[in-house]
């Protein structure tokens, strides 16, 4: 192979690598375009300015009366119009990530209404044709808005989260069953363009508080990452121009009117349903606004409490989660913006894993915490070109220990009606036993501890150019991600399951084994 061919081949390989990296590093930006008209005729020479605090960019409409701003950071802006012999006008605009907004301005030259300004079109600019964006107002109008899972269950059929149900066993945690994945960790979640790390491999380390979420973009795929699931882009609510506060409260409850179990369950000796009632209470308080000409500030605190009554448990099974988000947006100059955000969340499930077949003594006292700090700087080089750089640091932990006072034993309550015919032992009939009881007959962990650390650096450049009726978008970027997870667990050894016909409350006490393993 000749030297020019080798250089050409290496150049193509490097280009493919950089193109793949730039796809990973792209963040969702917004675009704003419009047309100025008077009597149906394009209006040229109108100065159009887009402002937000000290941030200010402008351009003049051409012969076609059009203007276009691209590569904008999502948020609240003010669009103003002025020109020689033309009355001024102003329109507040909310730009959503990954969307193009098209406005139409009609000059009326009326004393009461000099301009008629309206949004006539909005469409997605995402790389996925099937992606959809939902604003905070749209999410709050849904029937249930407890958390991200309930929102996705209402708007996206392809990834509806449901509780895992085997032989009447209802798990305490929500799991995801979709077209390409069977757990929530198989989806890629980005908060303001930064990756949300995963904790124990079956759940995210952070569950977003929808009251502090400005918009949600769902892309069913194909995913840009190695995960087979979908991609969810979350954008935090930005501070408003005026200082204001907001308080929200949401309650949801459900209960059965009777214990009408099926005849099949009655044959197994079950005379009441697995779950009698459940209720959830969510509260949120937000405050923020513009502090100075350069800086805006917002803070949000929310709390979610769940409680449900299940069979074979005298006390309700509870869980709680608290989320705090603080954000500062600074317009350093007419073309520079700095966004700082800290997100913290703590959660606890005192009876994690409880079910009709698992007693409270055998459940885990699970505690979870997550913290993430973000910093993003954006510079507008022109109305159609911008560069941005960002960094984030995430830290999380998940501890699942024994119940207080449980000692060194673990009590597993198995239904006594289970009978495995023609099988000499439960160990030999493991597949049948697992289907009936959703239990594992090997070593069962009694305590686990997960620690995660993640650092991410982003660098992006976005620009657009127009040739006739064609619009060309060029995006390039670098995404560097360093993550480390450490898992430590202790387990019992030599578990031997026994099933006693007619004795539903029979349990086996196991001695603790001092064994552990650590992976990172």
- The range of the structural domain enclosing residue 70 comes to 20-124
Q: Of 212, 418, 421, 183, nearest to 327 (Cα)?
A: 212
Q: Of 519, 449, 455, nearest to 481 (Cα)?
A: 455
Residue 71: CATH number of its domain: 2.60.40.10
Question: Are residues 160 and 116 located together in one domain of the fold?
Answer: no
Question: Are residues 195 and 47 located together in one domain of the fold?
Answer: no
Taking only the tens place, the pLDDT of each residue in 45-97 is 888 888 877 778 888 888 888 888 887 777 778 888 887 777 777 888 877 77
Distance (Å, whole) CA 446 – CA 509: 13
- DSSP strands (E only) in 335-469: 336-352, 364-382, 385-401, 445-467
Q: Which two tokens stand for residue 410?
A: 């673990």
Taking only the tens place, the pLDDT of each residue in 383-402 is 788 889 999 999 988 888 77
Question: Are residues 258 and 209 located together in one domain of the fold?
Answer: yes
Distance (Å, whole) CA 161 – CA 24: 26
Residue with more model confidence, 8 or 242: 242
Mean pLDDT is lowest, of 167-171, 337-341, 433-437, for 167-171
Q: Which helix (H) or strand (E) holds 232?
A: strand 231-236
Question: Are residues 377 and 247 located together in one domain of the fold?
Answer: yes
Instruction: Using pLDDT thresholds of 50, 70 and 90, give the confidence band for residue 458.
Output: very high
**Residue 91 included in any domain:** yes
Distance (Å, whole) CA 494 – CA 491: 10
**What pLDDT score was predicted for residue 457?**
93
**Residue 335 included in any domain:** yes
Question: Are residues 61 and 115 located together in one domain of the fold?
Answer: yes
Domain count within the chain:
2
Residues 276-299, mean pLDDT to the nearest whole number? 84
Taking only the tens place, the pLDDT of each residue in 98-146 is 677 788 888 877 777 777 777 776 665 554 445 677 777 777 666 555 5
Last residue of a domain, which of 84, 100, 124?
Answer: 124
Percentage with pLDDT > 90 across the chain: 8
Distance (Å, whole) CA 109 – CA 207: 51
Terminal CA-to-CA distance of the chain, rounded, Å?
45
Q: Of 173-177, 219-223, 405-409, 515-519, where does the model show the most confidence?
A: 219-223
Taking only the tens place, the pLDDT of each residue in 468-519 is 667 677 778 888 888 887 777 665 443 333 333 333 333 333 333 333 333 3
Last residue of a domain, which of 61, 90, 124?
Answer: 124
Question: Are residues 120 and 178 located together in one domain of the fold?
Answer: no
Distance (Å, whole) CA 191 – CA 203: 16
**Residue 403 included in any domain:** yes
Residues 207-219, mean pLDDT to the nearest whole number? 77
Mean pLDDT is lowest, of 73-77, 176-180, 346-350, for 176-180
Q: Which helix (H) or strand (E) holds 430?
A: helix 430-437
**Residue 10 included in any domain:** no
Count CB-CB contacts under 10 A for residue 175.
15
Question: Are residues 455 and 368 located together in one domain of the fold?
Answer: yes
**What pLDDT score was predicted for residue 221?**
56
Last residue of a domain, which of 61, 92, 124?
Answer: 124
Question: Are residues 355 and 385 located together in one domain of the fold?
Answer: yes
CB 363 within 8 A of CB 352: yes
Question: Are residues 268 and 397 located together in one domain of the fold?
Answer: yes
Mean pLDDT is lowest, of 1-5, 152-156, 359-363, 491-495, for 491-495
Distance (Å, whole) CA 194 – CA 209: 16
Question: Are residues 154 and 87 located together in one domain of the fold?
Answer: no
Question: Are residues 118 and 239 located together in one domain of the fold?
Answer: no
> How high does pLDDT run on average in the chain?
69
**Residue 6 included in any domain:** no
Q: Of 313, 251, 258, nearest to 279 (Cα)?
A: 251
**Residue 12 included in any domain:** no
List Cα–Cα distances, 46 to 50, 118, 368, 439, in angstroms: 13, 17, 55, 71
**Residue 7 included in any domain:** no
**How many secondary structure helices (H) and strands (E) does the chain include?**
5, 28
**Residue 14 included in any domain:** no
**What pLDDT score was predicted for residue 163?**
33
Q: Of 448, 458, 420, 427, nearest to 518 (Cα)?
A: 448
Mean pLDDT is lowest, of 187-191, 250-254, 324-328, for 250-254
CB 299 within 8 A of CB 326: yes
Question: Are residues 92 and 147 located together in one domain of the fold?
Answer: no
The stretches of 182-226 forming alpha helices (DSSP H) are: none
Beta-strand pair 41-42/75-83: unpaired
Q: Which two tokens stand for residue 55?
A: 């941030």
């Amino acid at each position: 192979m000749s030297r020019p061919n080798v250089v050409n081949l290496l150049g193509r390989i490097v280009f493919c690598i950089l193109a793949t990296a730039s796809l990973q590093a792209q963040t969702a930006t917004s675009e704003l375009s419009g047309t100025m008209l008077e009597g149906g005729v394009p209006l040229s020479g109108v100065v159009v300015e887009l402002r937000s605090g000290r941030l200010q960019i402008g351009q003049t409409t051409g012969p076609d009366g059009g203007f276009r701003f691209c590569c904008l950071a999502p948020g609240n802006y003010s669009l103003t119009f002025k020109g020689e012999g033309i009355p001024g006008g102003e329109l507040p605009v909310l730009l959503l990530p990954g969307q193009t907004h098209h406005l139409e301005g009609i000059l009326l030259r009326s004393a009461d209404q000099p301009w008629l300004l309206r949004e006539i079109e909005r469409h997605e600019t995402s790389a996925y044709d099937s992606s959809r964006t939902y604003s905070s107002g749209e999410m709050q109008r849904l029937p249930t808005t407890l958390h991200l899972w309930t929102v996705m269950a209402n708007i996206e059929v392809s990834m509806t989260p449901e509780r895992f149900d085997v032989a009447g066993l209802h798990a305490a945690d929500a799991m995801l069953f979709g077209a390409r994945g069977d757990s929530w960790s198989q989806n890629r979640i980005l908060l303001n363009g930064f990756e949300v790390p995963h904790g124990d491999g079956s759940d995210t380390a952070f569950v977003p508080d929808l009251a502090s979420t400005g918009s949600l973009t769902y892309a069913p795929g194909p995913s840009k990452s190695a995960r087979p699931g979908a991609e969810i882009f979350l954008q935090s609510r930005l501070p408003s121009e005026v200082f204001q506060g907001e308080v929200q409260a949401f309650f949801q409850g459900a209960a059965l009117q009777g214990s009408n179990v099926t005849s099949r369950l009655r044959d197994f000796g079950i005379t009441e349903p697995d779950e009698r009632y459940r209720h959830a209470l969510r509260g949120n308080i937000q405050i923020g606004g513009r502090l100075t000409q350069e800086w805006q500030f917002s803070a949000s605190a929310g709390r979610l409490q769940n409680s449900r009554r299940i069979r074979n448990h005298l006390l309700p099974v509870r869980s709680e989660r608290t989320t705090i988000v603080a954000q500062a947006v600074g317009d350093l100059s007419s073309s520079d913006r700095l966004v700082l955000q800290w997100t913290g969340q703590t959660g606890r499930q005192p009876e994690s894993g409880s079910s009709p077949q698992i007693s409270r003594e055998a459940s885990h006292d699970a505690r979870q915490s997550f913290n993430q700090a973000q910093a993003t700087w954006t510079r507008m080089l022109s109305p159609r070109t911008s560069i941005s750089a960002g960094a984030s640091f995430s830290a999380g932990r998940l501890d699942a220990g024994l119940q207080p006072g449980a000692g060194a034993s673990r009590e597993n309550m198995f239904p006594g009606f289970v009978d495995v015919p023609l099988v000499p032992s439960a160990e030999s009939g493991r597949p049948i036993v697992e289907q009936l009881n959703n239990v594992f007959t090997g070593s069962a962990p009694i305590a686990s501890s997960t620690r995660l650390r993640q650092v991410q650096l982003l660098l992006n450049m976005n620009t657009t150019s127009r040739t006739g009726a064609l619009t060309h978008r060029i995006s390039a970027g670098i995404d560097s991600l360093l993550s480390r997870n450490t898992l430590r667990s202790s387990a019992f050894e030599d578990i031997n399951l026994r099933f006693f016909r007619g004795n539903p409350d029979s349990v086996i006490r196991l001695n603790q084994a001092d064994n552990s393993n650590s992976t990172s």
